[in-house]
Amino acid sequence: MSNLPDFTNYKALDLLQWAEENIKGKVGLSCSFSVEDIILIDLWTTINPSPYIFTLDTGRLPQETYDVIEKVREQYKVQVHFFYPHTGEVEKMVNEHGPNLFYRSVELRKLCCAVRKIHPLQRAMKDLSGWICGLRKSQSITRQNLQKVEIDEQNNHIYKINPLLEWSDTEIWNYVREHNVPYNALHDKGYPSLGCLPCTRPVKEGEDIRAGRWWWENPETKECGLHQR
């Protein structure tokens, strides 16, 4: 990290431009099709009309997520690369622990996340030199120490770029309105954070924006492992 620039004053588009110009090899956008991810597609396609976008289809996503994927493909003329969990792993896990294992313990929930998300991510990352994420500090107490550009020690020490790290909710939605960005319909139904259908619910007024993710757990455990440091 010592040889990296000081990114303090870099804006989102500056970071994407830096990644385009300085990372040797393939750079991919890890996309759950949250509003943040689609903003990144909107930004990135201004400098690269054919960005590499990939998504992890866990097999338990809400229909609204598939609907917005189609909108994004149509509006931006981009290809979305899907990575699925291995059938054998899912079958073994569900046969041993049942389809709703994640509600019973943090350990079983993390097992489900590993099978459905982390293992597919590892396959997706195998050929990448950098990955772009829509993480923001305001989303969770587990994300307060993130940097705009990091070295991801969990994933082959590739670059991890977080262009929207400092953005507020107001900045997010102002950008959506100003640039006609499509977004997941669940955001209008009280879902500020998106994930698998059984593990995500709307948040109540005044609740933290990640309160709807794994709501039965303590805030300190609310990561699936994709962004564990």
Q: Which of 113, 196, 199, 224 is catalytic?
A: 224
Catalytic residue at 31?
A: no
Domains, the chain, ranges and CATH?
A: 13-221 (3.40.50.620)
CA distance 148 to 165: 6
| Token pair recorded at residue 227 | 């962004």
Q: What tens digit of pLDDT does each residue of 111-135 get?
A: 999 999 999 999 999 999 999 999 9
As a residue count, the chain comes to: 229
Q: What is the pLDDT along the chain (229 residues), one digit of tens a residue?
A: 447 889 999 999 999 999 999 999 999 999 999 999 999 999 999 999 999 999 999 999 999 999 999 999 999 999 999 999 999 999 999 999 999 999 999 999 999 999 999 999 999 999 999 999 999 987 666 567 789 999 998 888 999 999 999 999 999 999 999 999 999 999 999 998 899 999 999 998 888 877 888 988 877 665 554 545 4
Question: CB atoms < 10 A from the CB of 61, how many?
Answer: 20
pTM over 0.85: yes
Residue found under tokens 């991810």: 37
- Give the side-chain half-sphere CA count within 13 A for 169: 9
Got the DSSP string for 107-167? HHHHHHHIIIIIHHHHHHHTTEEEEE----GGG-GGGTT--SEEEETTTTTEEEE-TTTT-
Answer yes or no: are the C-beta atoms of 198 and 93 closer than 8 Å: no
CA distance 217 to 142: 13
